[in-house]
Chain A
Protein backbone atom coordinates (compact mmCIF):
# COMPACT_ATOMS: atom_id res chain seq x y z
CA UNK A 1 0.00 0.00 0.00
CA UNK A 2 1.22 3.49 -0.74
CA UNK A 3 0.06 7.09 -0.89
CA UNK A 4 -0.41 6.99 -4.65
CA UNK A 5 -2.26 4.07 -6.22
CA UNK A 6 0.00 3.79 -9.28
CA UNK A 7 3.64 4.31 -10.01
CA UNK A 8 6.82 2.37 -9.57
CA UNK A 9 8.87 3.86 -6.77
CA UNK A 10 12.19 3.68 -8.56
CA UNK A 11 11.21 4.91 -12.02
CA UNK A 12 10.68 8.56 -12.80
CA UNK A 13 7.04 9.66 -12.74
CA UNK A 14 5.06 9.98 -15.96
CA UNK A 15 5.29 13.37 -17.57
CA UNK A 16 8.64 14.14 -16.02
CA UNK A 17 10.33 17.11 -17.57
CA UNK A 18 7.05 18.92 -18.26
CA UNK A 19 6.67 22.26 -16.50
CA UNK A 20 4.42 21.79 -13.46
CA UNK A 21 4.56 25.23 -11.86
CA UNK A 22 5.77 28.45 -13.46
CA UNK A 23 6.46 31.94 -12.19
CA UNK A 24 6.97 34.69 -14.76
CA UNK A 25 8.17 38.13 -13.72
CA UNK A 26 6.81 37.67 -10.20
CA UNK A 27 7.43 40.49 -7.74
CA UNK A 28 5.86 41.20 -4.41
CA UNK A 29 5.78 44.47 -2.50
CA UNK A 30 4.39 44.98 0.99
CA UNK A 31 2.93 48.19 2.37
CA UNK A 32 4.72 49.26 5.51
CA UNK A 33 2.89 51.05 8.34
CA UNK A 34 4.99 54.14 7.53
CA UNK A 35 3.38 54.26 4.09
CA UNK A 36 6.56 53.15 2.32
CA UNK A 37 6.66 50.04 0.12
CA UNK A 38 8.91 47.10 0.92
CA UNK A 39 10.21 45.22 -2.09
CA UNK A 40 10.23 41.69 -0.66
CA UNK A 41 10.57 39.48 -3.70
CA UNK A 42 11.46 39.36 -7.37
CA UNK A 43 11.40 39.73 -10.20
CA UNK A 44 11.45 35.94 -10.39
CA UNK A 45 11.19 33.66 -13.41
CA UNK A 46 11.08 30.02 -12.43
CA UNK A 47 9.98 26.73 -13.95
CA UNK A 48 9.54 23.73 -11.66
CA UNK A 49 9.23 20.48 -13.57
CA UNK A 50 6.77 17.74 -12.82
CA UNK A 51 8.25 15.30 -10.32
CA UNK A 52 11.19 17.57 -9.55
CA UNK A 53 12.55 17.99 -6.03
CA UNK A 54 13.43 21.66 -5.98
CA UNK A 55 15.27 23.13 -3.00
CA UNK A 56 15.42 26.82 -2.13
CA UNK A 57 18.14 28.35 0.02
CA UNK A 58 18.68 32.00 0.76
CA UNK A 59 19.73 34.38 3.51
CA UNK A 60 17.19 35.05 6.24
CA UNK A 61 14.53 37.59 5.32
CA UNK A 62 15.12 37.19 1.56
CA UNK A 63 11.51 36.38 0.76
CA UNK A 64 11.60 32.58 0.74
CA UNK A 65 8.32 32.27 2.64
CA UNK A 66 6.78 34.98 0.45
CA UNK A 67 7.75 32.91 -2.59
CA UNK A 68 5.96 29.93 -1.06
CA UNK A 69 2.86 32.00 -0.23
CA UNK A 70 2.72 33.31 -3.80
CA UNK A 71 3.13 29.85 -5.29
CA UNK A 72 0.45 28.42 -2.98
CA UNK A 73 -1.97 31.18 -3.96
CA UNK A 74 -2.11 32.46 -0.36
CA UNK A 75 -1.03 35.92 -1.49
CA UNK A 76 -1.11 37.36 -5.00
CA UNK A 77 2.02 38.77 -6.62
CA UNK A 78 2.18 42.52 -7.11
CA UNK A 79 3.55 41.94 -10.63
CA UNK A 80 3.84 38.86 -12.82
CA UNK A 81 1.94 35.61 -13.09
CA UNK A 82 1.90 32.26 -11.31
CA UNK A 83 0.84 29.13 -13.16
CA UNK A 84 0.17 25.63 -11.87
CA UNK A 85 -0.78 22.78 -14.21
CA UNK A 86 -1.52 25.19 -17.05
CA UNK A 87 -3.92 27.25 -14.93
CA UNK A 88 -3.30 30.74 -13.67
CA UNK A 89 -3.06 30.75 -9.86
CA UNK A 90 -5.40 33.31 -8.30
CA UNK A 91 -6.38 31.43 -5.14
CA UNK A 92 -5.14 28.23 -3.49
CA UNK A 93 -5.28 25.70 -6.36
CA UNK A 94 -6.51 22.14 -6.07
CA UNK A 95 -3.67 19.63 -5.69
CA UNK A 96 -1.32 21.80 -3.63
CA UNK A 97 -0.27 20.81 -0.11
CA UNK A 98 1.69 23.05 2.25
CA UNK A 99 3.68 22.25 5.39
CA UNK A 100 4.35 25.48 7.26
CA UNK A 101 7.33 26.42 9.36
CA UNK A 102 5.13 27.05 12.40
CA UNK A 103 3.30 24.36 14.31
CA UNK A 104 -0.02 24.06 12.49
CA UNK A 105 -1.40 20.92 14.16
CA UNK A 106 -4.94 21.45 15.44
CA UNK A 107 -4.59 21.22 19.25
CA UNK A 108 -8.24 20.21 19.73
CA UNK A 109 -7.96 17.10 17.56
CA UNK A 110 -6.10 13.85 18.18
CA UNK A 111 -3.25 12.89 15.88
CA UNK A 112 -5.60 10.62 13.92
CA UNK A 113 -8.28 13.27 13.56
CA UNK A 114 -5.68 15.83 12.55
CA UNK A 115 -4.46 13.57 9.77
CA UNK A 116 -8.02 12.72 8.70
CA UNK A 117 -9.15 16.38 8.70
CA UNK A 118 -8.59 17.14 5.01
CA UNK A 119 -9.95 13.78 3.86
CA UNK A 120 -13.19 14.29 5.75
CA UNK A 121 -13.51 17.81 4.36
CA UNK A 122 -12.96 16.49 0.85
CA UNK A 123 -15.76 13.96 1.38
CA UNK A 124 -13.80 10.71 1.29
CA UNK A 125 -15.74 7.72 2.64
CA UNK A 126 -14.85 6.24 6.02
CA UNK A 127 -13.04 3.20 4.61
CA UNK A 128 -10.78 5.19 2.29
CA UNK A 129 -10.14 7.77 5.00
CA UNK A 130 -9.15 5.03 7.43
CA UNK A 131 -6.88 3.35 4.86
CA UNK A 132 -5.02 6.54 4.04
CA UNK A 133 -4.80 7.75 7.64
CA UNK A 134 -3.50 4.37 8.83
CA UNK A 135 -0.84 4.44 6.16
CA UNK A 136 0.25 8.04 6.77
CA UNK A 137 0.30 7.63 10.55
CA UNK A 138 2.45 4.50 10.19
CA UNK A 139 4.67 6.08 7.57
CA UNK A 140 5.42 9.03 9.84
CA UNK A 141 6.10 6.76 12.84
CA UNK A 142 3.09 8.03 14.77
CA UNK A 143 1.34 4.70 15.42
CA UNK A 144 1.88 4.86 19.18
CA UNK A 145 0.51 8.40 19.33
CA UNK A 146 -2.56 8.11 17.09
CA UNK A 147 -4.95 8.81 19.98
CA UNK A 148 -2.98 11.57 21.70
CA UNK A 149 -3.38 15.32 21.39
CA UNK A 150 -0.64 17.52 19.90
CA UNK A 151 0.03 19.16 23.28
CA UNK A 152 1.40 15.83 24.48
CA UNK A 153 3.87 15.57 21.58
CA UNK A 154 7.29 17.13 20.96
CA UNK A 155 7.72 19.83 18.32
CA UNK A 156 9.21 17.35 15.87
CA UNK A 157 6.32 14.94 16.34
CA UNK A 158 3.81 17.72 15.75
CA UNK A 159 5.57 18.63 12.54
CA UNK A 160 5.24 15.00 11.47
CA UNK A 161 1.52 15.23 12.13
CA UNK A 162 1.37 18.26 9.82
CA UNK A 163 3.35 16.44 7.14
CA UNK A 164 1.08 13.38 7.41
CA UNK A 165 -1.99 15.61 7.28
CA UNK A 166 -0.73 17.17 4.06
CA UNK A 167 0.30 13.87 2.45
CA UNK A 168 -2.95 11.95 2.88
CA UNK A 169 -4.55 14.25 0.34
CA UNK A 170 -1.92 13.17 -2.21
CA UNK A 171 -1.06 16.66 -3.36
CA UNK A 172 0.62 16.88 -6.75
CA UNK A 173 2.71 19.83 -5.58
CA UNK A 174 4.05 19.79 -2.02
CA UNK A 175 5.42 23.04 -0.61
CA UNK A 176 7.50 22.75 2.55
CA UNK A 177 8.68 25.82 4.47
CA UNK A 178 11.61 24.80 6.68
CA UNK A 179 9.62 21.85 7.97
CA UNK A 180 12.54 20.42 9.96
CA UNK A 181 13.64 23.71 11.47
CA UNK A 182 12.69 22.64 14.98
CA UNK A 183 14.45 19.28 14.82
CA UNK A 184 17.90 18.13 15.88
CA UNK A 185 20.46 17.17 13.23
CA UNK A 186 20.00 13.39 13.41
CA UNK A 187 16.23 13.63 13.23
CA UNK A 188 16.53 16.06 10.33
CA UNK A 189 18.56 13.58 8.32
CA UNK A 190 16.14 10.74 9.03
CA UNK A 191 13.11 12.91 8.28
CA UNK A 192 14.86 13.88 5.05
CA UNK A 193 15.08 10.21 4.14
CA UNK A 194 11.39 9.81 4.82
CA UNK A 195 10.64 12.83 2.70
CA UNK A 196 12.64 11.33 -0.19
CA UNK A 197 10.83 8.01 0.19
CA UNK A 198 7.55 9.83 0.14
CA UNK A 199 8.51 11.89 -2.90
CA UNK A 200 9.38 8.72 -4.81
CA UNK A 201 6.16 7.00 -3.76
CA UNK A 202 3.82 9.84 -4.58
CA UNK A 203 5.53 11.14 -7.74
CA UNK A 204 4.74 14.58 -6.41
CA UNK A 205 6.61 17.74 -7.28
CA UNK A 206 8.33 19.16 -4.20
CA UNK A 207 9.50 22.64 -3.33
CA UNK A 208 11.50 22.67 -0.10
CA UNK A 209 12.59 25.87 1.58
CA UNK A 210 15.44 25.40 4.02
CA UNK A 211 18.25 27.32 5.64
CA UNK A 212 20.39 24.15 5.92
CA UNK A 213 22.69 23.86 2.92
CA UNK A 214 23.40 20.16 3.52
CA UNK A 215 19.69 19.46 3.63
CA UNK A 216 19.14 21.24 0.32
CA UNK A 217 22.14 19.50 -1.28
CA UNK A 218 21.09 16.05 -0.06
CA UNK A 219 17.40 16.17 -0.89
CA UNK A 220 17.09 18.24 -4.06
CA UNK A 221 17.43 17.51 -7.75
CA UNK A 222 18.07 21.21 -8.19
CA UNK A 223 18.76 23.95 -5.67
CA UNK A 224 17.88 27.59 -6.28
CA UNK A 225 20.00 30.11 -4.38
CA UNK A 226 18.25 33.36 -3.56
CA UNK A 227 19.78 36.78 -3.12
CA UNK A 228 19.29 39.08 -0.16
CA UNK A 229 16.04 41.08 -0.23
CA UNK A 230 14.46 41.63 -2.68
CA UNK A 231 14.90 37.90 -3.25
CA UNK A 232 15.74 36.74 -6.76
CA UNK A 233 17.43 33.56 -7.94
CA UNK A 234 21.15 34.12 -8.45
CA UNK A 235 22.15 30.51 -9.10
CA UNK A 236 20.68 27.10 -9.82
CA UNK A 237 22.70 24.05 -8.85
CA UNK A 238 21.82 20.68 -10.44
CA UNK A 239 22.78 17.89 -8.05
CA UNK A 240 22.28 15.01 -10.55
CA UNK A 241 21.60 12.57 -7.72
CA UNK A 242 19.85 9.31 -8.65
CA UNK A 243 16.13 9.26 -7.82
CA UNK A 244 16.80 6.39 -5.43
CA UNK A 245 18.86 8.13 -2.73
CA UNK A 246 19.04 8.75 0.99
CA UNK A 247 21.06 10.59 3.62
CA UNK A 248 24.08 8.36 3.01
CA UNK A 249 24.94 10.49 -0.03
CA UNK A 250 26.45 13.01 2.38
CA UNK A 251 29.58 10.86 2.16
CA UNK A 252 29.58 11.06 -1.66
CA UNK A 253 32.64 13.02 -2.86
CA UNK A 254 30.40 15.30 -4.94
CA UNK A 255 28.33 16.27 -1.90
CA UNK A 256 31.04 18.54 -0.52
CA UNK A 257 31.38 20.24 -3.88
CA UNK A 258 27.68 21.00 -4.06
CA UNK A 259 27.45 22.46 -0.55
CA UNK A 260 30.65 24.43 -1.19
CA UNK A 261 29.13 26.00 -4.31
CA UNK A 262 25.91 26.81 -2.45
CA UNK A 263 27.83 28.40 0.39
CA UNK A 264 30.05 30.38 -1.96
CA UNK A 265 26.98 32.08 -3.42
CA UNK A 266 25.11 32.37 -0.17
CA UNK A 267 28.04 33.74 1.78
CA UNK A 268 28.15 36.90 -0.31
CA UNK A 269 24.40 37.43 0.17
CA UNK A 270 24.51 36.74 3.88
CA UNK A 271 27.36 39.21 4.28
CA UNK A 272 25.24 41.86 2.55
CA UNK A 273 22.53 41.35 5.15
CA UNK A 274 24.98 41.45 8.02
CA UNK A 275 26.47 44.59 6.48
CA UNK A 276 23.12 46.38 6.36
CA UNK A 277 22.33 45.28 9.91
CA UNK A 278 25.71 46.59 11.06
CA UNK A 279 24.96 49.80 9.18
CA UNK A 280 21.74 50.25 11.16
CA UNK A 281 23.54 50.13 14.49
Chain B
Protein backbone atom coordinates (compact mmCIF):
# COMPACT_ATOMS: atom_id res chain seq x y z
CA UNK B 1 0.00 0.00 0.00
CA UNK B 2 1.26 3.48 -0.83
CA UNK B 3 1.12 6.02 1.99
CA UNK B 4 0.01 9.62 1.67
CA UNK B 5 3.67 10.68 1.89
CA UNK B 6 4.41 8.21 -0.87
CA UNK B 7 1.90 9.89 -3.17
CA UNK B 8 3.23 13.35 -2.36
CA UNK B 9 6.78 12.16 -3.08
CA UNK B 10 5.63 10.70 -6.37
CA UNK B 11 3.85 13.97 -7.19
CA UNK B 12 6.97 16.04 -6.49
CA UNK B 13 9.15 13.85 -8.71
CA UNK B 14 6.51 13.79 -11.46
CA UNK B 15 6.15 17.59 -11.35
CA UNK B 16 9.93 18.09 -11.57
CA UNK B 17 10.19 15.71 -14.52
CA UNK B 18 7.25 17.44 -16.23
CA UNK B 19 8.82 20.86 -15.68
CA UNK B 20 12.09 19.55 -17.06
CA UNK B 21 10.29 18.10 -20.06
CA UNK B 22 8.57 21.43 -20.72
CA UNK B 23 11.84 23.37 -20.37
CA UNK B 24 13.45 21.11 -22.96
CA UNK B 25 10.50 21.10 -25.34
CA UNK B 26 10.06 24.88 -25.31
CA UNK B 27 13.76 25.43 -25.91
CA UNK B 28 14.74 26.90 -22.54
CA UNK B 29 17.34 24.16 -22.35
CA UNK B 30 19.19 23.57 -25.63
CA UNK B 31 19.05 20.02 -27.02
CA UNK B 32 22.83 20.01 -27.27
CA UNK B 33 22.97 20.20 -23.46
CA UNK B 34 20.16 17.88 -22.30
CA UNK B 35 17.52 15.98 -24.23
CA UNK B 36 13.94 15.80 -22.93
CA UNK B 37 13.11 13.03 -20.39
CA UNK B 38 10.67 11.37 -22.80
CA UNK B 39 13.43 11.26 -25.39
CA UNK B 40 15.69 9.61 -22.80
CA UNK B 41 13.05 6.89 -22.30
CA UNK B 42 12.77 6.37 -26.07
CA UNK B 43 16.55 6.27 -26.35
CA UNK B 44 16.86 3.73 -23.52
CA UNK B 45 14.17 1.59 -25.12
CA UNK B 46 15.97 1.65 -28.48
CA UNK B 47 19.36 0.80 -27.11
CA UNK B 48 17.95 -2.11 -25.12
CA UNK B 49 15.98 -3.26 -28.17
CA UNK B 50 19.01 -3.07 -30.44
CA UNK B 51 21.13 -5.01 -27.97
CA UNK B 52 23.99 -2.69 -28.80
CA UNK B 53 25.02 -2.28 -25.15
CA UNK B 54 24.00 -5.68 -23.83
CA UNK B 55 27.57 -6.79 -23.21
CA UNK B 56 28.38 -3.54 -21.37
CA UNK B 57 25.26 -3.75 -19.21
CA UNK B 58 25.97 -7.37 -18.32
CA UNK B 59 29.62 -6.59 -17.59
CA UNK B 60 28.65 -3.80 -15.19
CA UNK B 61 26.00 -5.85 -13.40
CA UNK B 62 28.42 -8.77 -13.10
CA UNK B 63 31.08 -6.52 -11.57
CA UNK B 64 28.61 -4.90 -9.17
CA UNK B 65 27.41 -8.32 -8.04
CA UNK B 66 30.94 -9.66 -7.61
CA UNK B 67 32.07 -6.56 -5.70
CA UNK B 68 29.02 -6.59 -3.41
CA UNK B 69 29.42 -10.29 -2.63
CA UNK B 70 33.13 -9.88 -1.91
CA UNK B 71 32.59 -6.77 0.21
CA UNK B 72 29.76 -8.37 2.20
CA UNK B 73 31.59 -11.67 2.73
CA UNK B 74 35.00 -10.23 3.56
CA UNK B 75 33.49 -7.32 5.51
CA UNK B 76 31.40 -9.66 7.64
CA UNK B 77 34.36 -11.92 8.40
CA UNK B 78 36.60 -8.96 9.19
CA UNK B 79 33.88 -7.49 11.43
CA UNK B 80 33.51 -10.74 13.37
CA UNK B 81 37.28 -10.98 13.77
CA UNK B 82 37.67 -7.37 14.97
CA UNK B 83 34.74 -7.84 17.35
CA UNK B 84 36.43 -10.86 18.88
CA UNK B 85 39.60 -8.86 19.58
CA UNK B 86 38.58 -5.86 21.71
CA UNK B 87 42.05 -4.38 21.97
CA UNK B 88 42.60 -4.44 18.21
CA UNK B 89 39.16 -2.96 17.82
CA UNK B 90 39.85 -0.08 20.18
CA UNK B 91 43.00 0.64 18.17
CA UNK B 92 41.50 0.64 14.68
CA UNK B 93 37.94 1.84 15.28
CA UNK B 94 38.89 5.53 14.81
CA UNK B 95 40.46 4.58 11.46
CA UNK B 96 37.25 2.86 10.36
CA UNK B 97 35.20 5.86 11.46
CA UNK B 98 37.24 8.28 9.34
CA UNK B 99 37.67 5.89 6.41
CA UNK B 100 35.12 7.58 4.17
CA UNK B 101 36.86 10.92 4.61
CA UNK B 102 39.57 9.60 2.29
CA UNK B 103 38.79 9.64 -1.44
CA UNK B 104 39.66 5.97 -1.97
CA UNK B 105 39.24 6.53 -5.64
CA UNK B 106 42.53 8.37 -6.02
CA UNK B 107 44.35 5.05 -5.61
CA UNK B 108 43.23 3.95 -9.06
CA UNK B 109 46.75 4.14 -10.54
CA UNK B 110 47.91 1.66 -7.91
CA UNK B 111 45.21 -0.78 -8.93
CA UNK B 112 46.03 -0.44 -12.59
CA UNK B 113 49.65 -1.26 -11.79
CA UNK B 114 48.66 -4.24 -9.66
CA UNK B 115 45.72 -5.66 -11.63
CA UNK B 116 46.05 -4.06 -15.06
CA UNK B 117 43.16 -2.37 -16.88
CA UNK B 118 40.00 -4.47 -16.62
CA UNK B 119 37.49 -6.12 -14.36
CA UNK B 120 39.86 -7.02 -11.56
CA UNK B 121 40.96 -3.42 -10.97
CA UNK B 122 37.31 -2.28 -11.08
CA UNK B 123 36.23 -4.90 -8.56
CA UNK B 124 39.18 -4.04 -6.30
CA UNK B 125 38.21 -0.36 -6.16
CA UNK B 126 34.53 -1.15 -5.65
CA UNK B 127 35.33 -3.59 -2.82
CA UNK B 128 37.64 -1.08 -1.20
CA UNK B 129 34.88 1.50 -1.38
CA UNK B 130 32.16 -0.74 0.06
CA UNK B 131 33.82 -3.14 2.51
CA UNK B 132 34.12 -0.73 5.43
CA UNK B 133 30.36 -0.11 5.45
CA UNK B 134 29.91 -3.85 5.97
CA UNK B 135 32.60 -4.03 8.66
CA UNK B 136 31.06 -1.23 10.72
CA UNK B 137 27.54 -2.65 10.29
CA UNK B 138 28.78 -6.04 11.47
CA UNK B 139 30.38 -4.47 14.54
CA UNK B 140 27.19 -2.56 15.34
CA UNK B 141 25.08 -5.68 14.86
CA UNK B 142 27.24 -7.79 17.16
CA UNK B 143 27.29 -5.01 19.76
CA UNK B 144 23.53 -4.75 19.78
CA UNK B 145 22.82 -8.39 20.63
CA UNK B 146 21.15 -8.10 24.05
CA UNK B 147 23.12 -9.82 26.82
CA UNK B 148 19.98 -11.52 28.03
CA UNK B 149 19.73 -13.42 24.73
CA UNK B 150 23.24 -14.79 25.26
CA UNK B 151 22.20 -15.85 28.77
CA UNK B 152 19.09 -17.47 27.32
CA UNK B 153 21.27 -19.41 24.89
CA UNK B 154 23.24 -20.75 27.84
CA UNK B 155 20.05 -21.81 29.60
CA UNK B 156 19.23 -23.81 26.46
CA UNK B 157 22.74 -25.26 26.78
CA UNK B 158 23.70 -24.21 23.26
CA UNK B 159 27.31 -24.52 22.13
CA UNK B 160 29.08 -21.71 20.31
CA UNK B 161 28.19 -22.72 16.72
CA UNK B 162 24.52 -23.21 17.65
CA UNK B 163 24.42 -19.89 19.47
CA UNK B 164 26.13 -18.07 16.61
CA UNK B 165 23.70 -19.49 14.07
CA UNK B 166 20.42 -19.48 16.01
CA UNK B 167 20.81 -16.46 18.32
CA UNK B 168 23.63 -14.11 17.31
CA UNK B 169 23.03 -14.13 13.57
CA UNK B 170 19.25 -13.47 13.63
CA UNK B 171 19.66 -10.94 16.45
CA UNK B 172 22.25 -9.02 14.43
CA UNK B 173 20.50 -9.58 11.08
CA UNK B 174 18.79 -6.17 10.75
CA UNK B 175 22.13 -4.38 11.20
CA UNK B 176 23.89 -6.80 8.89
CA UNK B 177 21.28 -6.15 6.26
CA UNK B 178 21.85 -2.40 6.50
CA UNK B 179 25.49 -3.21 5.79
CA UNK B 180 24.50 -5.28 2.75
CA UNK B 181 22.37 -2.42 1.45
CA UNK B 182 25.13 0.14 1.87
CA UNK B 183 27.75 -2.19 0.40
CA UNK B 184 25.65 -2.66 -2.69
CA UNK B 185 25.17 1.07 -3.11
CA UNK B 186 28.90 1.79 -2.71
CA UNK B 187 29.83 -1.09 -5.01
CA UNK B 188 27.51 0.27 -7.69
CA UNK B 189 29.09 3.73 -7.43
CA UNK B 190 32.57 2.20 -7.39
CA UNK B 191 32.02 0.08 -10.50
CA UNK B 192 30.36 2.77 -12.64
CA UNK B 193 32.95 5.38 -11.66
CA UNK B 194 35.89 3.01 -12.25
CA UNK B 195 34.61 2.13 -15.70
CA UNK B 196 35.00 5.76 -16.72
CA UNK B 197 38.75 5.65 -16.25
CA UNK B 198 40.06 2.12 -16.20
CA UNK B 199 37.96 0.01 -18.49
CA UNK B 200 37.09 -0.63 -22.12
CA UNK B 201 33.65 -1.98 -21.32
CA UNK B 202 30.65 -1.43 -19.06
CA UNK B 203 27.94 1.17 -18.66
CA UNK B 204 30.34 3.74 -17.19
CA UNK B 205 32.73 3.30 -20.06
CA UNK B 206 29.88 3.57 -22.57
CA UNK B 207 28.65 6.81 -21.02
CA UNK B 208 32.16 8.27 -21.31
CA UNK B 209 32.49 6.98 -24.86
CA UNK B 210 29.16 8.42 -26.05
CA UNK B 211 30.03 11.71 -24.34
CA UNK B 212 33.34 11.94 -26.18
CA UNK B 213 31.57 11.24 -29.47
CA UNK B 214 28.79 13.80 -28.99
CA UNK B 215 26.20 11.00 -28.89
CA UNK B 216 23.84 12.76 -26.47
CA UNK B 217 20.91 10.51 -27.20
CA UNK B 218 22.64 7.28 -26.15
CA UNK B 219 24.46 8.93 -23.27
CA UNK B 220 21.24 10.07 -21.62
CA UNK B 221 19.58 6.73 -22.33
CA UNK B 222 22.41 5.00 -20.46
CA UNK B 223 22.23 7.48 -17.59
CA UNK B 224 18.54 6.76 -17.24
CA UNK B 225 19.35 3.06 -17.14
CA UNK B 226 21.80 3.60 -14.25
CA UNK B 227 19.20 5.60 -12.32
CA UNK B 228 16.54 2.94 -12.90
CA UNK B 229 18.76 0.03 -11.86
CA UNK B 230 19.95 1.85 -8.72
CA UNK B 231 16.40 2.87 -7.77
CA UNK B 232 14.89 -0.57 -8.28
CA UNK B 233 17.68 -2.36 -6.43
CA UNK B 234 17.59 0.12 -3.57
CA UNK B 235 13.79 -0.05 -3.26
CA UNK B 236 13.88 -3.84 -3.11
CA UNK B 237 16.63 -3.89 -0.47
CA UNK B 238 14.87 -1.12 1.45
CA UNK B 239 11.67 -3.14 1.67
CA UNK B 240 13.48 -6.10 3.21
CA UNK B 241 15.40 -3.73 5.47
CA UNK B 242 12.26 -2.08 6.79
CA UNK B 243 10.63 -5.42 7.47
CA UNK B 244 13.63 -6.48 9.53
CA UNK B 245 13.73 -3.16 11.38
CA UNK B 246 10.11 -3.35 12.52
CA UNK B 247 10.75 -6.77 14.01
CA UNK B 248 13.75 -5.44 15.85
CA UNK B 249 11.82 -2.64 17.55
CA UNK B 250 11.57 -3.58 21.21
**Interface of B (DSSP majority class):** helix
Report the Cα distance A98→B149, complex, angstroms: 12
Q: Would you call B155 and A106 a contact (CB within 8 A)?
A: no
Q: B147-183 vs A: 1/0 string, CB under 8 Å?
A: 1110110111110001000010011010000000000
Residues of A within 8 A of B155 (CB): 72, 74, 92, 96-98
Q: Would you call B152 and A151 a contact (CB within 8 A)?
A: no
Report the Cα distance A118→B155, complex, angstroms: 10
Report the Cα distance A5→B246, complex, angstroms: 39
Q: Would you call B156 and A117 a contact (CB within 8 A)?
A: yes
**Interface of A (DSSP majority class):** loop
Q: Would you call A106 and B149 a contact (CB within 8 A)?
A: yes
Q: B135-157 vs A: 1/0 string, CB under 8 Å?
A: 00000000000111101101111
Which residue from B151, B171, B173 sits with its C-beta under 8 Å from A74?
B151
Report the Cα distance A274→B170, complex, angstroms: 42
Report the Cα distance A70→B187, complex, angstroms: 49
Q: Would you call A102 and B146 a contact (CB within 8 A)?
A: yes
Cβ-based interface call for A121 (8 A): yes
A107 to chain B minimum Cβ distance, whole angstroms, is 5
Which residue from B151, B158, B170 sits with its C-beta under 8 Å from A106?
B170
Which residue from B147, B158, B247 sits with its C-beta under 8 Å from A108?
B247
Q: Which of A49-102 contact B (CB under 8 A)?
A: 72, 74, 91-92, 94, 96-98, 100, 102
Cβ-based interface call for B197 (8 A): no
Q: Would you call B248 and A100 a contact (CB within 8 A)?
A: no
A123 to chain B minimum Cβ distance, whole angstroms, is 12
Cβ-based interface call for B4 (8 A): no
Q: Would you call B247 and A149 a contact (CB within 8 A)?
A: yes
Cβ-based interface call for B87 (8 A): no
Binding site for A on B (CB under 8 A): 146-149, 151-152, 154-158, 162, 167, 170-171, 173, 246-250
In order of increasing CB-CB distance, the 8 nearest A-B pairs are: A102-B148, A108-B170, A104-B148, A151-B249, A104-B152, A98-B155, A100-B148, A149-B247
Q: Give me 30 A-to-B residue pairs in the complex whose CB atoms sit less than 8 angstroms apart, sorted by A's number.
A: A74-B151, A91-B157, A97-B155, A98-B151, A98-B155, A100-B148, A100-B151, A102-B146, A102-B148, A103-B146, A103-B148, A103-B250, A104-B146, A104-B148, A104-B151, A104-B152, A106-B149, A107-B171, A107-B249, A107-B250, A108-B171, A108-B173, A109-B170, A117-B156, A121-B156, A149-B247, A150-B250, A151-B247, A151-B249, A151-B250
